[in-house]
Structure 1
Amino acid sequence: MPLAHPSHTLSSEAAAEMLRAADAAAPHEACGLLLGVGLHVQTVLQTANVADDPARHFEIAPASLIAAHRAARAGGPQIIGYFHSHPNGLARPSATDRASAAGDGRVWAIVARGRITLWKDAPSGFEPLSYDTVEG
């Protein structure tokens, strides 16, 4: 019998923070980092969206990304992936998302209309991920 893929987990606090960030940023896209350990997103770090057109694109502030990498190397939570919102769209990768993806295996969380979906940025393209929302 094949083993099931392990499900990612998302803390209820991280989910609530992404939903708040998306609401607060609208009509622009919110964005930030998913932090945690292994398959568990423990927290999110909302960052400035420094894209030229933040209503249609997102770009995580480089200083925030560098600081998070430094904190991870010093023993802090690891960067599991990224989140952003689609204020006028669907909770799935857009053509722009696919064009800017690195294929590095990180998780992308997309927030749209009160819904959060998780995607693996695989070399072959985005793959949907299942997840459970948990306390802590």
Structure 2
Amino acid sequence: MLRLPAAVRTSMVAHAREGAPAEVCGVLAGTHNEQSTASAAARATNAAAAPRSRYELDPGEQLTLMRDLEANGHEVVGFYHSHPRGPPAPSDVDAHEATWVGYSYVIVSLGGDEPVVRSWRWTGERFEREAVGVQD
């Protein structure tokens, strides 16, 4: 399960809307365990060559974000990205590029009438959907 404060969910949705029609991405920080809590979402630049259909975190920027989060007492909980037109499910490209086993990969979908936020844990072989508990 991923616990997600309402403010973090709102921040990710706002980022997705601002970046559309391109995909946006970022790093989730908080407490990482079987029932992680993402207490912050740090925006990252989408460095993909085709940002309308995929995302890629720049390795240097990712390292800087992670160091900053850890310096503030947070752990990396996972990552988020948007699907401006698609469903809130990992694509084949998402699965091919995933590397953080046991971490959350949140997808913000803008493809319907209302944004949908779903989370998936990478097992090393496939994504497994995990419950998202939005907290006030």
1:41 paired with 2:38, answer: yes
Match of 1:65 among 29, 38, 62: 62
Amino acid at match of 1:40: T
TM-score by length of 1: 0.88
CA distance in 1, matches of 2:109, 2:40: 19
Counterpart of 2:122? 121
Asked whether the 8 Å contact 1:8–1:40 carries over to 2, the reply is yes
Counterpart of 1:134? 135
Give structure 1 regions of 4+ aligned residues with deviation exceeding 4 angstroms: none
Counterpart of 1:4? none
Asked whether the 8 Å contact 1:103–1:125 carries over to 2, the reply is no
Identity over aligned pairs, percent? 26
Q: How many residues align?
A: 129
Q: Which moved more, 1:31-40 or 1:74-83?
A: 74-83
Deviations 1:73-110 (A, max 9, x none): 43521111100001110000011111111152111000
TM-score by length of 2: 0.88
Runs of at least 5 residues in structure 2 that lack an aligned partner in the other structure = none
Whose Rg is larger?
Answer: 1
- 1:128 partner SS: strand
Runs of at least 5 residues in structure 1 that lack an aligned partner in the other structure = 1-6
Judged with a 3 Å threshold, the aligned counterparts in structure 2 of structure 1 residues 61 and 103 are, in CA distance, closer, same or farther, namely closer
